[in-house]
Structure 1
Amino acid sequence: MNRRTSALLSTAIVTGVVVGTAPTATAAPTAVTQGTTTATAPDPFYRYDGSKPLSAYQPGDVLKKRTLNYHVFGIPTPLKAIQLLYRTTDAQGRPSANVTTVVRSQYGDGSKAVSYQSFYDSLSPEDGPSRAIAGDVSLLGGVIANAESLIVAPLLLKGYDVVIPDTEGQNADFAAGPEYGTNTLDSIRAATRTGETGLHAGTRFGLFGYSGGSIATNWASVLAPAYAPEVNKQLVGFAEGGLLVAPAHNLRYVDGALAWNGVIPMALIGVSRSYDIDLTRYLSAKGLAVVKELEHGSIVDALAHHPGMTWKDMAKPEYKDPNSIPAFVAAVNKINLGRAATPTVPGFIGQGNAGWLEGTFSRPPGIGTGDGVMVAGDVRTLARQYCATGNSSIKYEQYDLLSHVGAMPYWAPRAMAWLDDRFAGKTAPTSCGRIPAGNSLEPEKPTVTP
């Protein structure tokens, strides 16, 4: 079998399994019996157990590595994947350990790679893409990480090596944007410091992510110049869609929605977890019950489970305005992209704006419409802000007839084509000067509880 045939076969198997053309198989995770129940044994690869403290390592240093077959829905394929446990930095600036996966293209030569940020959106570490690739099967959240093989496959066929970080870290700190960014940048560092990956300091990288993956993509692009300047020099650009900009706006936008209001309790849990704050004391009995239900859930568990539920339903009466909670205000301001730096590399940003298709009908004053969960006016302002602060290579597209889920299959091939052009050295197109005005991205201000 020649090199091209082998590559096509490997990729076809990956794609075929996802779309259901390959035969089914049963995954075989390591299991232990405890009394009358059987539980999956924790994978020791994810635990740093070295003698030196993590602080003794530099961000991006490799702590462990292993090579395994790339799995899709628990089925091994001929593709090989290299997984790395590496040192990174959490949302509070503390040393932490995380896992990334490197998939080599059989067409590639190590000169170009895409860092693909998954939209696995979960409060459970078990739903991370590295675990799905290793063959673990989780019933709900893991479906997303497995299905994303449909995006990885064409990248491999084009000759890109693909790096796939567990962007939320090992605590699944959902929506903690800065941590998503450092996890992504240190993932690239780790991938280029390990001989087995074939990647190196001269490898050019593109950042690619949608929805939850766009959080990591944008934060990586804005943090790179200061946090990882050597990685920033390797970047050709970032492509993202369905972007979370100002989380406080999003929570008001989805308030009372039929489906996407489930991100309200998810965000509360994720922000509380990542910044070590307790928001549960502000919640009503209903709010506490919903948070407990979702504590280790994924986006699949959250969507449409409480149609019409509002923040007021979840909060005690005296906290019906979330801005009356100082800890909430401080946290959402830390993860507002409008307050972060401007990327220095070209960017492609796509954003849907037909949220009514997914059951979000509200138009809050100063916020307006969006794709069902992400606020279009926030994204426009961010793109305009980048243009105004020195980055004239920003391409912005708004899809007024597409919702969040619907925009993804339209955006993805356009984003890939845009990245292809950046790797080819073509001049990046710009929308600067033609992007309509959006919303204010000023920090949230605390209010006084009546």
Structure 2
Amino acid sequence: MRIALRDSATALLAALALALSPAIATPPPAALAQALMPAPDPDPFYWPTPDLGARANGDVLRSRPVDVSRFGNADGWQIAYRSTNSSGHPIAAVTTVLVPRGGVNRPLVSYQTIINSLGTRCGPSHTLFSGQLQEAPLINLMLLRGWAVALPDHLGPTSAYGAARLGGQIVLDGIRAAQRLPEARLWRSPVGVAGYSGGGMTSGWAGVLAPTYAPELNIVGIAQGGVPANLSELANGLGTAPHPLFGLGFAATLGLEREYPSSIPLASGLTAAGLALRDRITNACSQEIIDAGANHSAAEVSADPAQIHAPAVRAIFDDNSLMMYRGVPRAPMYAWHGRADQLAPLDSAAATVRNYCAAGLPVQFNVLPGDHGPASIEGLPGALGWLDGRFAGQPAPSNC
């Protein structure tokens, strides 16, 4: 779990360096190349239904029971549901819901796992059952508390790795779908949203979008840790030297291109080596991407040295930066961050918290002494205890 959390943040920062590198300077329209999409999941359960456009966000398209006996006395379902992408078009998304047996309207936590991948087979709806989900022990802890847990495939059907605002919408619609599934008996459950690093960023977006995108949801708390809050600011200070985790950064840029193809036309600026690496990892999961891209660099895969600070690219990162978003969550927040975080600097996260505090939101901000990886583990007990209080209806503490 430590490795996954560390890799996620490093991948995000490397992605930003690549995204602002010459490879994606906006070319003339004739030079644009289409983003390379992943192979569709071969399981028809994931496919959109013919009536997708006529359905409402969060509507259940189909569902099926799944065996979650390895997690104890719980029942599980996978739900395909309608959501919306960044262009306003309908998409079919999937979440996996685990519910402890007995009781009705158990507290529901939507937990956003870390997905450093481009393949449709790499989301938690697959890795939860293949043994590859490194955060599985945390799922056990939440179930033991009597909470139901939803694990959305928050990168969406094109595995748009890096598109955090899209992920926030998928999270909210996944909560709607879980509460609309009769068998889960979660109709009026209080809801918590949680995650760390990339999962924390997606959780933060779910929190700030909820008042307008899903105002009917009873979200009682948001627990987010290690959040990179200002993507453009981070990108300014990054270099392009060879890095062992370069593949993850390259993958994140490919994911953003899938979601914003007109603003991030990466393919048109790649060298032959860049195209080969892209083709190799188009359907890959995290470790495969790391192995393929190890010790490469943006300079190796970029073709055009001009327009290093493309405005269209900057706009995309600002649009996915929590610090830049003017909206404020309605639900109280628990945030934690490492004081010595070298991957997601504390200052931007603290500034985002100050924005929320100034708007009157109760925020408990826990600054831990360590770096990004250690803080991921050290902050979890406080986050779980804080969510316990929200589900119990206690007043939210604040150190604003």
Amino acid at match of 2:314: V
- Tell me the equivalent position of 1:162: 149
Q: Give the C-alpha shift of residue 330 in structure 1.
A: 2.8
- Tell me the equivalent position of 2:382: 414
Deviation larger for 256-265 or 98-107: 256-265
Q: Deviations over 1:145-199 (max 9, x none)?
A: x232201111111111111111111111111112101100001111111210111
- Aligned counterparts of 1:261 and 1:348: Cα–Cα separation in 2: 31
- Tell me the equivalent position of 1:203: 189
| Kept after mapping to 1: 8 A contact 2:94/2:153 | yes
- Tell me the equivalent position of 2:54: 56
- Aligned counterparts of 1:190 and 1:428: Cα–Cα separation in 2: 27
Q: 3-state SS of the aligned residue for 1:163?
A: strand
- Aligned counterparts of 2:183 and 2:245: Cα–Cα separation in 1: 42
1:383–1:314 Cα change, 3 Å: farther
Q: Give the C-alpha shift of residue 105 in structure 1.
A: 1.1
| Kept after mapping to 1: 8 A contact 2:271/2:302 | yes
- Tell me the equivalent position of 2:391: 423
- Tell me the equivalent position of 1:362: none
| Kept after mapping to 1: 8 A contact 2:277/2:292 | no
- Aligned counterparts of 1:41 and 1:398: Cα–Cα separation in 2: 40
Q: Deviations over 1:23-82 (max 9, x none)?
A: xxxxxxxxxxxxxxxxx98211111233x2x2211100111011120276xxx9774311
| Kept after mapping to 2: 8 A contact 1:124/1:297 | yes
Structure 2 residue runs without a partner (length 5+) = 1-39
Q: Does structure 1 residue 282 correspond to structure 2 residue 269?
A: yes
- Tell me the equivalent position of 1:67: 65
Aligned-pair identity (%): 31
Q: Give the C-alpha shift of residue 307 in structure 1.
A: 6.1
| Kept after mapping to 1: 8 A contact 2:106/2:146 | no
Q: 3-state SS of the aligned residue for 1:229?
A: coil
1:159–1:66 Cα change, 3 Å: same
Q: RCO greater where, 1 or 2, for CA within 8 Å and sep 6 or more?
A: 2
- Aligned counterparts of 2:213 and 2:49: Cα–Cα separation in 1: 26
| Kept after mapping to 2: 8 A contact 1:205/1:235 | yes
1:400–1:314 Cα change, 3 Å: farther
1:249–1:275 Cα change, 3 Å: same
- Tell me the equivalent position of 2:134: 147
The counterpart of 1:267, out of the listed 241, 252, 268, is 252
- Aligned counterparts of 1:230 and 1:247: Cα–Cα separation in 2: 30
1:377–1:311 Cα change, 3 Å: farther
The counterpart of 2:107, out of the listed 106, 112, 132, is 112
The counterpart of 1:244, out of the listed 228, 231, 244, is 228
- Tell me the equivalent position of 1:334: 319
- Aligned counterparts of 1:430 and 1:257: Cα–Cα separation in 2: 42
1:260–1:343 Cα change, 3 Å: farther
Higher Rg of the two aligned structures:
1
- Aligned counterparts of 2:192 and 2:158: Cα–Cα separation in 1: 26
Q: Give the C-alpha shift of residue 427 in structure 1.
A: 2.2
1:226–1:291 Cα change, 3 Å: same
Deviation larger for 246-255 or 190-199: 246-255
1:253–1:408 Cα change, 3 Å: farther
Deviation larger for 274-283 or 382-391: 274-283
> Normalising by structure 1, what TM-score?
0.73
- Aligned counterparts of 1:41 and 1:62: Cα–Cα separation in 2: 18
- Aligned counterparts of 2:202 and 2:106: Cα–Cα separation in 1: 23
1:236–1:269 Cα change, 3 Å: same
- Tell me the equivalent position of 2:42: 42
Structure 1 residue runs without a partner (length 5+) = 1-39, 355-369, 433-450
Q: Does structure 1 residue 387 correspond to structure 2 residue 357?
A: yes
1:421–1:103 Cα change, 3 Å: same
Q: Give the C-alpha shift of residue 243 in structure 1.
A: 1.0
Q: 3-state SS of the aligned residue for 2:64?
A: strand
- Aligned counterparts of 2:54 and 2:378: Cα–Cα separation in 1: 45
Q: 3-state SS of the aligned residue for 2:389?
A: helix
Deviation larger for 333-342 or 60-69: 333-342
1:388–1:82 Cα change, 3 Å: same
1:49–1:344 Cα change, 3 Å: closer
Q: Give the C-alpha shift of residue 378 in structure 1.
A: 1.6
1:343–1:112 Cα change, 3 Å: same
- Tell me the equivalent position of 1:359: none
Q: Deviations over 1:227-248 (max 9, x none)?
A: 00001xx111100112122223
| Kept after mapping to 2: 8 A contact 1:239/1:419 | yes
| Kept after mapping to 2: 8 A contact 1:107/1:159 | no
- Tell me the equivalent position of 2:86: 91
1:77–1:285 Cα change, 3 Å: same
The counterpart of 2:369, out of the listed 400, 409, 419, is 400
Moved over 6 A (4+): none
| Kept after mapping to 1: 8 A contact 2:73/2:100 | no
Q: Give the C-alpha shift of residue 298 in structure 1.
A: 3.3
- Aligned counterparts of 2:323 and 2:249: Cα–Cα separation in 1: 20
> Normalising by structure 2, what TM-score?
0.82
Q: 3-state SS of the aligned residue for 1:371?
A: coil
- Tell me the equivalent position of 2:117: 122
- Tell me the equivalent position of 1:22: none
Q: 3-state SS of the aligned residue for 1:429?
A: coil
